[in-house]
Chain A
Amino acid sequence: MSDNNKKNDDLDYETTGHSWDGIQEYNKPLPKWWLMVFYACIIWGVGYSIAFPAWPGIKTATAGLLGWSTRGNVEQAIKDHEAELAPINERLASVELTAITSDPELNTYALNAGAAVFRTWCAQCHGSGAAGAKGYPNLLDDDWLWGGTIEDIHYTVTAGIRNEDTDVDYIRQSAMPAFGRDELLSDEEINQVVNFVMTLSGEEPQNASLVEAGAEVFDINCASCHGADGTGDRFQGAPNLTDAIWLYGGDFNTLHDTVFNARYGIMPPMGGADLSEAEIRAVATYVHGLGGGEASE
């Protein structure tokens, strides 16, 4: 900065030689290293554009000598992630189902992994919050068609509902007869039994005078699956008709429709090609922990 030749006199400063209307421009040069850094950046840029994808073409860009790509990075990251999770997935797939929740690490992992699986594979029907919809069971409540223990849920996810294509030994299989459409019951009898069913869960029947006759119809035609008291049978997936929860609706018209045409809700099996055992166990743990999970016997 300081120089013996430069005096504290403005006139002695070197100028660029430029002069506008008598105003001269001082020469206050940048340091050489600054220039060198600039050149280094240019060289770096040339090298970079050779080594990495850089120059756009018509359809694609130059690939670069290093073969680097963002897609490859993602693939590698996914692979790394899976490799990292392999041990805990293996543990999750091999422990007793009932032991998952008592292992804090496994439980936390299963709940988070299960939430992700649920949102990918289950939320389409059961809703992102698992509250279900008409015909699609609410998984948050304490009412289960096929059982709410961790084992039951695990089996349901694996084998699906009313699915005939799986290779598993036991299929959650049942069918309610279409009492009206197939002319198993007369219109009169259907009206009677619907009024009776409404009383099972404490609803006001549409026509109280038909209830008594309905009880008889129920006893003959419905009790074999739904039970004499109407509390259902989980082995056959026959709903409990005495509680406050209706899968399709508990009003007269909906119940009439149910008895007349029957219902045949299905769920695809997730075992096999779609989900791994660890993923099924994760999502079963997640669903079991949503509030309705039942203790295993």
Chain B
Amino acid sequence: MADTETPAPSLYEAREPIFPRRVSGKFRNLKWVLMAVMLGIYYITPWLRWDRGPELPDQAVLLDLAGRRFFFFMIEIWPHEFYFVAGLLVMAGLGLFLFTSALGRVWCGYACPQTVWTDLFILVERWIEGDRNARLRLHRQKKWDFRKLRLRITKWVAWFLIALATGGAWVFYFTDAPTLLHNLVTGQAHAVAYTTILILTATTFAFGGFAREQICIYACPWPRIQAAMMDEDTLTVGYRDWRGEPRGKHRKGEGADQLGDCIDCRACVNVCPMGIDIRDGQQLACITCALCIDACDDVMEKIGKPRGLIDYLALSDEDRERGGSTPRPVWKHVFRPRVILYTALWSLVGIGLVFALFMRPEIEMTVAPVRNPTFVVLSDGSIRNTYDVRLLNKHGEARPFELSLTGSDNLSLSLEGEDDMVVDVPANETYLQRVYVTAPKGTEEAQDERTSFSLWVEDLTNGTKAENDTVFNGRDN
């Protein structure tokens, strides 16, 4: 039963600000490189140009939602080829399974936009306000004097500019970047562009500057899902408590020889962007950014102990290490059936996509017989069927396509609005052409209920052909 004597505890808790200390080491360096590469890709990509001919956009990566086209360097995806995007998403999913089962929450720690931008915001914060201790002092200083005001405003302005560049870069992926930039600056851009930039700027500013670890802990479902993909062989950031405990300051004469390697310097806690203590063990809030490894290795080096008190560990090695034997080599943890299966599936989808990409037909045609009515009797008694033929010209210029018919001797072809069999299909378009097929009176085709035949289309510029089988409906009485 509820204990009525103690006062009711607070159900809501104020966020405890986190001031991660600067750290250096191999993981920190890796993260700097990754951050530079990923942010570079994000900001620069819309500005890359790629010549596709006069009628097509020259932006290397462009999601043309209005025109329903996706351009990626030499690849152009039409709406009916959206399975490529679906395939990429499947690969992204399998890739996450693969990396998570092998290396734990490596996505969270290194590549998640929330982590990368928070890292950048913390870097800017450190440049302006100083390292952990200086920031703590500034935070605890109640009085808003000129210095605090100046530092805070400088930081917020810097954050805002980064956020603006982030929100701004996003919209450039959806339309011609130089034109849009010009329109944005001169105030002529569409309201959707401004609204998108505003929202993304606001969320970047708030999530990177203030919400930070709260997003990971409270808003993101990923930590909950990823845990399901890890097992005892997954390499993840952990603390060798069998080596570190009991922790304590190694003061002489206080039984230092009884203590473990952990000197309780709290370096691992101070550098943690999530504000957790890795020595508490695996926890939901740990994004495995590995900065505590760098911090601890640094300390171990200084006090002359072996590195790796905090390290990438696999759970299956714990018993082995407690027993004093050496852990299994990394490759044995990584190359296990689960990881190999994920790799195989991932590669299979990837190879399939690449294969499909290069097997894509250059011209395409769909034929839809008009069934309302199925046939028309002409004044000379011949029977005519109508077909809606859609011709896809994927090229950057208008091309002449010639239609022809095979598979039946008596059927003849004619095109609505054209004197011959050639139709000029505009660049980068699906062109609807009404096509008539006629069987003279008395022929087998005119009297049979159904006659199969094939429609062909040939790109007269390069001779590429496409074919479509369909049927002719005769007078079925």
Contacts and interface: CB of A to CB of B under 8 A. Distances in A.
Interface of A: 1-3, 8, 14-20, 27, 29-35, 101, 104, 127-129, 131, 138, 140-143, 202, 240, 243-245, 289, 291
Nearest to A20: B1
Interface stretch (B7-15, B89-97, B155-163, B179-187): B7-15
A30 B13 contact: yes
Query: Sorted from nearest, which 9 A-B pairs have the closest CB atoms?
Result: A129-B372, A243-B379, A244-B381, A29-B13, A131-B373, A17-B6, A140-B376, A143-B379, A35-B12
A34 B218 contact: yes
B12 A31 contact: yes
A17 B3 CA distance: 6
A141 B376 contact: yes
A256 to B, nearest CB: 22
A291 B379 contact: no
The interface size bin for chain B is: 35 or more
B3 A244 contact: no
A107 to B, nearest CB: 8
B377 A141 contact: yes
A116 to B, nearest CB: 16
A104 B384 CA distance: 26
Given A140-B376, A141-B377, A101 B14 contact: no
A15 B7 CA distance: 11
B12 A141 contact: no
A205 to B, nearest CB: 17
A188 to B, nearest CB: 31
Contacts of B276: 1-2
Contacts of A15: 9
Given A2-B269, A2-B275, A29 B12 contact: yes
Given A1-B276, A30-B218, A18 B2 contact: yes
Nearest to B9: A27
B476 interface: no
Given A1-B276, A31-B218, A202-B381, 19 more contacts: A1-B275, A2-B269, A2-B277, A15-B9, A17-B8, A19-B2, A27-B9, A29-B10, A29-B11, A30-B12, A31-B13, A101-B417, A104-B426, A127-B372, A131-B373, A141-B379, A143-B378, A243-B381, A289-B434
Nearest to A289: B416
Nearest to A102: B417
B409 interface: no
Nearest to B247: A8
**Chain A interface, DSSP helix/strand/loop, else mixed:** loop
A31 B9 contact: no
Contacts of A142: 378-379
Contact of A131 (B277, B372, B378, B416): B372
Contact of A1 (B14, B16, B380): B16
Contacts of A143: 378-379
B274 interface: yes
A119 to B, nearest CB: 11
B280 interface: yes
Contacts of B277: 2, 8
Interface string B10-36: 111111100000000000000000000
A129 B2 CA distance: 76
B377 A33 contact: no
A19 B380 contact: no
A240 B214 contact: no
B84 interface: no
B1 A31 contact: no
B285 interface: yes
A243 B386 contact: no
A128 B370 CA distance: 12
A244 B436 contact: no
Contacts of A20: 1
Nearest to A132: B373
A202 B380 CA distance: 11
B390 interface: no
Nearest to B436: A291
B384 A291 contact: yes
A31 to B, nearest CB: 5
Interface string B268-284: 01001011110110000
Contact of B379 (A3, A17, A128, A240): A240
28 contacts: A1-B16, A1-B213, A1-B217, A1-B285, A2-B269, A8-B277, A14-B9, A15-B9, A17-B8, A19-B2, A20-B1, A27-B9, A30-B12, A31-B13, A31-B214, A32-B13, A35-B12, A101-B417, A127-B373, A129-B372, A141-B376, A142-B378, A243-B380, A243-B381, A244-B378, A244-B380, A244-B441, A291-B384
A3 B275 CA distance: 9
Given A2-B275, A17-B2, A138 B376 contact: yes
Nearest to A140: B376
Contacts of A14: 9
Nearest to A128: B372
A119 B292 CA distance: 71
B370 A129 contact: yes
A31 B15 CA distance: 6
